[in-house]
Amino acid sequence: MYAVIELMGAQVRVEKDDRIEVNRMKDLKSETLKIEKVLFGKKGQSYFIGDPYVKGAYVECDIIGNKRAKKLIVFKYRDRKSSQSKKGHRQDLTELKVKDIHFA
């Protein structure tokens, strides 16, 4: 059983007990998250196709915590111009664990 959900502007394929990392979600007050934007799902031999979302379907997730991704280095070098720049970036992430997938 799996589902394709829309979360923070991205489409993510999830199964039960998967751990996913998404962009930092602010103002999370509870330990669980209910995602109702299910685009597609498969349970056994049944397929659920949304228009744009599957009615009555949702995914329950536990919020594990916030963390930061590995540092990325951006280096720009311009030939014969004596110009260069170096910048670093670390993305803020929220880690989720899929508890269960429900279809109506």
Residues 38/58, Cβ–Cβ less than 8 Å: yes
Determine if the pTM surpasses 0.95: no
Per-residue pLDDT reduced to its tens digit, 16-54 = 999 999 999 988 888 999 999 999 999 999 999 999 999
* Residue for token pair 């597609």: 40
Closest CA to 28 of 92, 75, 86, 79: 92
Determine what percent of the chain is predicted with pLDDT higher than 70.
100
Q: For residues 42 and 71, give the distance between their C-alpha atoms in angstroms, rounded to a whole number.
A: 36
Collapsed DSSP state (helix, strand, coil) of residue 55: coil
Note the maximum CA span of the chain: 64
Q: So what's the pLDDT on residue 104?
A: 83
